Structure 1
Amino acid sequence: MDPILERINTVTRRHFFGRNALGLGTAALASMLPDRRAMALGGGADENRPAPSGGLPGLPHFAPKAKRAIYLFMSGAPSQLDMFDYKPAMDDLFDTDLPESIRKGQRLTTMTSGQDRFPIAPSKYKFERHGGSGAWVSELLPHTAKMVDDLAIVRSMHTEAINHDPAITYICTGHQLPGRASLGAWLSYGLGTMNANLPDFVVMTPTWSGRKDAQALYNRLWGSGYLPSKHQGVRLRTDGDPVLFLSDPPGVSQANRRRMLDTLGALNQKNYDEFADPETQARIAQYEMAFRMQTSVPELMDLTDEPKNVLDMYGPDVTKPGTFAYCALMARRLAERDVRFVQLFHRGWDQHGNIAGDLPNQCRDIDQPSWALVQDLKQRGLLDDTLVVWGGEFGRTIYCQGALTRDNYGRDHHPRCFTVWMAGGGIKPGIVHGETDEFSYNVTKDPVHIHELNATILQCLGIDHRRLTYKFQGLDQRLTGVEDPHPVDALLA
């Protein structure tokens, strides 16, 4: 709903009900804030957790296959050519020019547009077929290769954006320009919370081992845009307090903090009764959430209850806060506590040079933990209703940027084709979808646009992407843009 219309409607109703304890403000606040007696019981994954709340009437639109989702986002664009899209014919074309009939005048970045030639750089890594699908996976991903029968590998992703910031903004929010709501915010807005003691949408930004001068991440990638601010992602930090200002200041007891929040809530409620700004309600709800998180977050971060065999699955870095392994385990712990959407942004994939040095390090960061996450969810019976997505904002070129040798090379940005994989709730396992030409340059079969990927994610969670809208600037805004993309039926179980 347009915020102005929402305010007008709210004021009209407020005048109808009058300024009394049964007015709209109190009723709306009560609908957002679970009973405090129930709050005291919550925190962990148990039957005492407060009941779900929020969300839009009529959602989900149909029975969902997944209740929650985890998105492993590889920021910087991993090279599909060196990981999933095997092109053996390129070996014989080493250092020859990419034919113009393949490039077809494609828009180039300023990093390679001035090159005199576009020499073909075959992957230096060995590939093998795996699983019932016969999926090709490179030697860089031995653990991922073991679970291809759990995955739907999509080799035909494409996008219009060719530079990182607009591309990552595009896939995360549905538009290349900033200001739109992110995928996680849409899920929070549409479906509401399943655990009132933790945020609907949690973000982590693990450390990385590849190229150190990585692309920046901006909080708009997990922002709420025009949606109410309570739907934006909450970032879990890797040092100090997991969430800023979560701890009480020295000398402030829990009882004092509770009284302060009650007083502040009353003042905010008075402000809301006078001005009817919906953001005031969001502020009240977030203060209360922060208070509950003082108990739920420390319990979440305490790994003492994790068996050794589970920790071993994720690899040697799992107990080091901030590593991808640690964050992947946190993602599973958040999923079992029914957090709606968890997104990990792993940086360092922008390999314009030194693929031989940087790419193996990046793959070591994510390979075993990603496999462990899927297997851990599977063993706990959570994979059936948890969607897991892995991928970046675009792909990499077959031609080399800079110096080329048989043992090392770099690749420029490539929006025309790249690879993602999906697993879990609602996804057909053990398939490879889409094909590219022999240069991994153009999609030749079953193209999947990023809007179609997002429509498929929403479909798994019981949402018709065309009907999840928010009135803003006179338009019915939606995650999947003004086009009419369709969920990819071939990926759906």
Structure 2
Amino acid sequence: GYVVLNNDWVPNGGLENFGSSFLPAAYQATMLRPSGEPVDNIEPSDPIGLQQRKLALLAEQDHEFAQQSADANAIEGAIANYETAFRMQSTIPEIADISQEPEFIQKMYGVDSTDEHQQLYATQALRARRLVEAGVRFVEITCPSFDGNNSPWDQHSQLKTNHEKNARVTEQSVAALITDLKQRGLLDETIVIWAGEMGRTPHTPKISDSCGRDHHVDGYSIFMAGGGFRPGFAYGETDEFGNSVVHNQVDIHDIHATILNQLGIDHTALTYRHGGRDHRLTDVHGRILQDLIVS
């Protein structure tokens, strides 16, 4: 499954950020709210036995319809979504309830913070660990929104002030998540990726307390932990200004190829037919970054 802990906001680009594109609908994300009922209609309206019989009848009819339909994939995707929704009803309420966690674990993540944004992010990070323990394959956490900004890292102004806010909100919970996974023996089989789609330019049009920086794709940093990746080192270098890569350049396709390798998947063989051709996550690019992997 794919679960997004999205902190009650949707980033620029809308829900397509978490969608399945041309893949079956079963691969789109399920979003959990940070407070209150995590998912709409999570409480079943019928007793479990009756609900199971209804779903079995519905699935049988859908399968028959799919065999006669020109778009069987869409119908099979809908069936898979029904099955996922049923499983969620029995597991999500328990997973989302972090009150079951010991007080010292909650404090380690920062759930007791007096900062509402940090408390929110800490709750989501702790839920992420519980989701991983429950077998969810892909969990995404987004940074809480400040001042109505639905892209809280996109600082075209007030960069110093707002990046400091973001760092204060997230750093304790991220460190706690990695520590917690390691202590539970889960880090070796879990990849933690802290990343965005771009960095910020190393220069600004003017020097002032309110200045910001623009989008920058020619040299920026991410970090990865666990999942068989080498710990405690930096790979790649930029020039002295941080403007562009001068050594060990890494492309996003390389990152995808390497992550898939750690999941036991050959990125050149993972394809999905759409529009008359076999699409790859890495397109026609991508190399496995062996220097990043524990030998």
Confirm or deny a common fold (TM above 0.5): yes
Q: Whole-Å Cα distance in 2 between the matches of residues 260 and 316 of structure 1? A: 40
Q: Whole-Å Cα distance in 1 between the matches of residues 59 and 277 of structure 2? A: 33
Q: Whole-Å Cα distance in 1 between the matches of residues 12 and 65 of structure 2? A: 38
Q: Which residue of 2 aligns with 1:225?
A: 21
Q: Which has the higher contact order (CA 8 A, sep 6+)?
A: 1
Q: Whole-Å Cα distance in 2 between the matches of residues 360 and 476 of structure 1? A: 44
Q: 2:18 is matched by which residue type in structure 1?
A: W
Q: CA deviation at 1:365?
A: 1.2
Match of 1:270 among 64, 67, 89: 64
Q: Whole-Å Cα distance in 2 between the matches of residues 381 and 489 of structure 1? A: 24
SS of match in other structure, 1:268 = helix
Q: Whole-Å Cα distance in 1 between the matches of residues 270 and 193 of structure 2? A: 21
Structure number, greater radius of gyration: 1
Q: CA deviation at 1:415?
A: 1.0
Q: Whole-Å Cα distance in 2 between the matches of residues 487 and 388 of structure 1? A: 18
Normalized against structure 1, the TM-score is what?
A: 0.54
Q: How many residues align?
A: 284
Q: Is the 8 A contact 1:391 1:420 kept in 2?
A: yes
Moved over 6 A (4+): 318-322
- For residues 316 and 293 of structure 1, do their structure 2 counterparts lie closer, same or farther at Cα, with a shift above 3 Å needed? closer
Match of 2:137 among 328, 333, 340: 340
Q: Is the 8 A contact 2:34 2:124 kept in 1?
A: no
Q: Which residue of 2 aligns with 1:460?
A: 262
For residues 454-476 of structure 1, the C-alpha deviation after alignment (integer angstroms, 9 at most, x for no partner) is: 11111111111111011111211
For residues 221-272 of structure 1, the C-alpha deviation after alignment (integer angstroms, 9 at most, x for no partner) is: 22222222112221112244312332335xx444443343233223213312
Q: Is the 8 A contact 1:318 1:329 kept in 2?
A: no
For residues 134-172 of structure 1, the C-alpha deviation after alignment (integer angstroms, 9 at most, x for no partner) is: xxxxxxxxxxxxxxxxxxxxxxxxxxxxxxxxxxxxxxx
Q: Which residue of 2 aligns with 1:492?
A: 293
Q: Is the 8 A contact 1:207 1:323 kept in 2?
A: no
- For residues 371 and 220 of structure 1, do their structure 2 counterparts lie closer, same or farther at Cα, with a shift above 3 Å needed? same
Match of 1:400 among 204, 216, 219: 204
Q: Which residue of 2 aligns with 1:450?
A: 252
Q: CA deviation at 1:395?
A: 0.9
- For residues 375 and 203 of structure 1, do their structure 2 counterparts lie closer, same or farther at Cα, with a shift above 3 Å needed? same
Match of 2:226 among 415, 421, 424: 424
Q: Which residue of 1 aligns with 2:122?
A: 325
Measured on the aligned residues, the alpha-carbon RMSD in Å equals 2.3
Q: Whole-Å Cα distance in 2 between the matches of residues 221 and 433 of structure 1? A: 28
Q: Which residue of 1 aligns with 2:283?
A: 481
Q: Whole-Å Cα distance in 1 between the matches of residues 188 and 267 of structure 2? A: 22
Q: CA deviation at 1:449?
A: 0.8
Q: Which residue of 2 aligns with 1:241?
A: 37
Q: 2:56 is matched by which residue type in structure 1?
A: D
Q: Whole-Å Cα distance in 2 between the matches of residues 215 and 284 of structure 1? A: 28
SS of match in other structure, 1:342 = strand
For residues 103-159 of structure 1, the C-alpha deviation after alignment (integer angstroms, 9 at most, x for no partner) is: xxxxxxxxxxxxxxxxxxxxxxxxxxxxxxxxxxxxxxxxxxxxxxxxxxxxxxxxx
Q: Which residue of 2 aligns with 1:50?
A: none
The range that moved more, 426-435 or 220-229, is 220-229
Q: Which residue of 2 aligns with 1:257?
A: 51
Q: Is the 8 A contact 1:436 1:442 kept in 2?
A: yes
- For residues 207 and 436 of structure 1, do their structure 2 counterparts lie closer, same or farther at Cα, with a shift above 3 Å needed? farther
In the TM superposition, 1:358-377 aligns within 5 A as 358-377=162-181
Q: Whole-Å Cα distance in 2 between the matches of residues 464 and 232 of structure 1? A: 22
SS of match in other structure, 2:259 = helix
Q: CA deviation at 1:435?
A: 0.8
Alignment partner of 1:312 is 2:114: no
For residues 147-198 of structure 1, the C-alpha deviation after alignment (integer angstroms, 9 at most, x for no partner) is: xxxxxxxxxxxxxxxxxxxxxxxxxxxxxxxxxxxxxxxxxxxxxxxxxxxx
Q: Which residue of 2 aligns with 1:146?
A: none
Instruction: Give the percent of matched residue pairs that are identical in Structure 1 and Structure 2.
Output: 40
Q: Is the 8 A contact 2:106 2:112 kept in 1?
A: no
Q: Whole-Å Cα distance in 1 between the matches of residues 200 and 142 of structure 2? A: 19
Q: Whole-Å Cα distance in 1 between the matches of residues 22 and 200 of structure 2? A: 33
SS of match in other structure, 1:311 = helix
Alignment partner of 1:284 is 2:87: no
Q: Whole-Å Cα distance in 2 between the matches of residues 455 and 269 of structure 1? A: 35
Q: Whole-Å Cα distance in 1 between the matches of residues 217 and 138 of structure 2? A: 26
Q: Which residue of 2 aligns with 1:300?
A: 95
The range that moved more, 258-267 or 410-419, is 258-267
SS of match in other structure, 2:12 = coil
